Structure formats: structure tokens, C-alpha cells
Amino acid sequence: MSQKRPDSYHVVKPGDPHPQGWKVPPVNDLRSAIELLKTIPGQYIETDREVDPKDELAGVYRYIGAGGTVMRPTRIGPAMTFNTIKDYPDSRVLVGLMASRERVSALLGAPTRELGIQMAAARRNVTPPIVIDNKDAVCQEVVYRAEDEGFDLRKILPAPTNTTEDAGPYFCLGLVLGSDPDDRDNVDVTIHRLCVQGKDELSIFFAPGRHIDAFRQKAEAAGKALAVSINMGLDPAIPIGACFEAPTTPFGFDELCVAGGLRGRPVELVECLTVQQRAIARAEIVIEGEILPNVRVEEDQNTRTGKAMPEFPGYTGEANPSLPVIKVKAITTRRNPILQTLVGPGEEHVSLAGIPTEASIHIECEDALPGLVQNVYAHSSGGGKFLVVLQVKKRNDGDDGMTKQAALIALAVYRELKNVIIVDEDVDLFDTNDVLWAMQTRFSGDMDTIFVPGVAGHVLDPSQTSLYDPRVTAKGTTTKTIYDATVPFHLKEHFVRAQFKEVDPSLWAPSLFGKEAE
């Protein structure tokens, strides 16, 4: 497959050693990811107790491990497979695979604090996908064709609903693969909101600026359908790599190359059976279909709840009155497939969206201001999108201004970002208490705050509407804010934290550090 990319990015060839030296685990699909987690205490559990995919499954996981912006009580906990799904004897459902940084670290190979840096390295060192023979594609072990008598995707796949208000059952981790109608090698892969509307129809919601939507519009203008595959149950490197956004992955860039960069080997694709498109060969489930031209449906046409599903900011989104329709042509699966899902506002969204956000900002800041930005954290409270903490290390008086420049770069490189907090190198950017401490002792509101009003943000933020702010003329417009909680360089000696003696605490409390008492 051809790959359009800036010349500055290196292509890793199969067999090359990983350029950063991380110990990348031997994971190449969902099942090998699960087997790895089984070896790590506290990261994975299963249950054989029957669960209803309608409302109940998400209700259970809310308490087990959803985390994120889910209404309390919730927590960060293990990934969980439900082996017995009501009315679906041949299916299993996995939730929360990437709902903690520790689990993502185990699955990708970099330490928790270096995941954004690892993602940045994968973006710089890409490995394009390859196409394999259909006979070698495990995703096509079982085939259901829409033309077959009695075909009904609602009876084949247990798409969950998260709450009683949901517009319908949703596939929450369906990676949609589409291509330019005039250039099949110009590919985009993105996760979209997919609601089951009938026995062979799904609605699809596109946030503004999505590249597959540009392909759809181009096909629709020509009166043609757009062939797509919906891929579910994947090597976690694939969906997290697909969550990069422009300008880090510009129009024409195939995000599957990032997953290849993470693994140091190519993602395998296969030709679909019923549409002119490719699918991910080691997926658990693939839905083959076409986005129909000039056909729209109300998202909640079957329930009339007025709601869609819980979204990453922690609120249930409004049902969209007019969405494009995917006509399903076939479903292919592995034997005894695992349907992978997530709880909309949970920590899994933070990992999927936030770690690529960290990588995007790190790439651009390092290119523009080498050595200044030490690390980036896309905070859970913003769903991995709205709030970023930048850790900087000032080297001279000029860096006082450069820290704010770094924050402006962050806002420029990630359009949906709303707030940036800047901290010094002695502050743990992953510790919210430490960040808030810096804001109490190194921040004066009228002097250290920068407002950038009237900027495009995210349509799912309920404060970015004219009802909330009468100045807003278009939904998804907001004031962005930079909070500089760093010490002016010339005052660094007056802001030295209390220094304690370095000791080995495990000698006094071995059980707390996983050691035996001496």
C-alpha cells in the first residue's frame, strides 16, 4: 500500500529493532493481549455470571473499573470479560482493556510516564500495513452475509447500551476503515459512534473534521456509496494509534502506520468479502458495509429518548436528528468472537484519546522548542482531550516566555484542547495534588493566566454553546485558558522544595514495596 507522509518521518521495516529500545510485548491481536494481562496480577478478570448487554453490563463495570469522568462511585480497576451474554450464547464481551495507564504500559511496552513519548516515537518511525491472503485471515473464520435468509445483526452481535437513555445499542470501539473514492490507498481509520438502527443498518456520527467524513462527502457528491469496514476486537496498538488527529496525522496519512511503529511490524489487512475495502485481518469481528449517499436517519428513531449515549465529558450526548447510514453487507468473525466495548466517559477513553494527544504535543513542542518540554499529560478530568499538563525545565530568563509559547503550541496542535496548566520539572504532572499545589504557590490569577477567546473547541462540551455563553455563535466554540504555574527563572532559588534524605524505605516497610522482611 502506498503511504503519504512527510519526508522527515522514518519508515521502520519489518525485522528492524525497535528504535527506542522499549521491550515491546509479543501482542498481535486481542487474544494475545488478554493472555498477557492474565499474567499480571490485578489487571484482568472474567465472569461466567450471565449479564444483559442492555444497561446491565455497563452498570456493572461502572463499579469494577470504568473510572474517568463517570459519575462517582467508580474506580480504575481490571479489564473484564463477560463470558455469558443474555440471548447471545456464542459471544463474549470485553470492557476496559485500556482503562488504566498501567495496563496500557503492559500492552505497549513503555513505562507509564513515557507512553506519550513512545507514541511520538511511533509517529516518527512508522511501519505501513500489508495485505495478506483471505485464507490466512482469522477474522473471516465465520461469515454471515446480509443476503442470507434471516440475517439480523441485532441477533448476531451483542451491542451494549450504556444507560436506559441510550438511543439504542452502540458499537463503542468500532474502528472504521475507509478510503478516498478515487484513491483506494488514501486510507483513514477512526473510531466513531455507531448505533444499531435495524437488522442491516447502522447510523454513524462524525465529529467535525474527520477524514472519513471527507471521503463520504466526496462519494456522496458523485452519487456513490462509500465502502467501509468496521473492525472490533483488536491489538490495542491499533485503536490507540488511530486516535491521532490532524495536524499530527494530516489528510492522507494512514494511522495504521502508527500501530506498525508501536509494534515494529506491519498491521495485516485482508480484502473484504462483499465490499471493495480492506479489513484488519486479526480482528475478532468485522462488519462490512457501505455508507449510503443522501440517506439520513434520526439517531434515536427507535427509542425517542432524545439522547445518544454517554460521552467522554461525563454527560449523555443529545441524539442527532440526521446521521448518515451504513448498510451492512456482511459480518465476519473469529470463532467464539469477543466483542470489545468501553464505557463512554471512562478511563479507557482517556487512554485512547489522551496518550496520542500527549504524543502530538510532545512532537511539536520538541521540534519548535528543543529541550524545554519534559513531558505532557492529558488529564483524566478532561477525558484525555480538554486538559493538558505541560512539564517544563527552564534554562534561562528567555524560557519564561517560551513556556507560554509551548502552551500556545499545544493549543494549536490539538484543536479540541481547552485548558493548559504549565508546571516546573520538580512537580509530578501525573499527580493532581502536586499540580494543584503548584497552582497555590506558583500562580497568581491576574498575572499568570492567558485567555484565548472565540476559538474552535469540541461540540460535546456543554459549556461551548450559546445557551451557556451568549457570545458563542457556533456550537463548539470556547475560550481557551493557559495557567502558568511555573516559577520565574530568576526566582528559582526562592522556590526550592523541602529536600529529604534519600533512603531505601523498603528496609523499614518491606511489605509496602513487595519485598521480604530481613
pLDDT, tens digit, 9 for 90 and up, residues 62-117: 999 999 999 999 999 999 999 999 999 999 999 999 999 999 999 999 999 999 99
Predicted local distance difference test score (pLDDT) of residue 1: 38
User: Does residue 311 carry a catalytic annotation?
Assistant: yes
Rounded distance, CA 275 to CA 147, Å? 13
pLDDT at residue number 15: 45
User: Is 450 within 8 Å of 404 (Cβ atoms)?
Assistant: yes
Q: Which of 176, 154, 191 is nearest to 288 (CA)?
A: 176
Grade residue 209 by pLDDT with cuts at 50, 70 and 90.
confident
Query: Edge-to-edge strands of the sheet including 387-392?
Result: 373-378, 387-392, 419-424, 477-485, 449-456
Higher pLDDT, 249 or 170: 170
Burial 424-452 (b: 16+ CB within 10 A, else e): beebbbeeeeebebbbeebbeeeebeeee
Calculate what percentage of the chain has a pLDDT beyond 90: 90
404: closest CA among 479, 480, 344? 480
Catalytic, out of 311, 347, 358, 364: 311
* Range in 16-20, 259-263, 388-392 with the lowest mean pLDDT: 16-20
Residue that has been written with the C-alpha cell 516515537 in this structure: 121
Average pLDDT over residues 176-186: 95
pLDDT at 36 > cutoff 50: yes
Identify the pLDDT of residue 11. 57
Q: Is the pLDDT of residue 278 over 50?
A: yes
Give the model's pLDDT for residue 350.
97
- In percent, the amount of the chain with pLDDT more than 70 equals 96
pLDDT of residue 416: 94
Task: Look at residue 497 and tell me whether its pLDDT is greater than 90.
Answer: yes
Does the pTM exceed 0.95? no
Span 403-420, pLDDT tens digits? 999 999 999 999 999 999
pLDDT at 5 over 70: no
Burial of 393 (0-12, 13-18, 19+ CB in 10 A): middle
Q: Give the pLDDT mean for 119-141.
A: 96
Can you give the pLDDT at residue 21?
64
Query: Which residues are CB-contacts of 21 (< 8 A; sequence separation ≥ 6)?
Result: none
- Better-predicted residue by pLDDT, 402 or 516: 402
As a whole number of angstroms, the distance between CA 194 and CA 168 comes to: 10
Look at residue 250 in the predicted model and tell me its pLDDT.
87
What's the whole-number mean pLDDT along residues 486-505?
96
Q: Quick one: average pLDDT of 264-279?
A: 97
The pLDDT value recorded for residue 20 is 60
User: Which domains are assigned to the chain?
Assistant: 10-348 (2.30.110.10), 369-494 (3.40.1670.10)
The arithmetic mean of pLDDT across residues 156-171, rounded, is 97
- Could you read off the pLDDT of 219-267 as tens digits, one per residue? 999 999 999 999 999 999 999 999 998 888 888 899 999 999 999 999 9
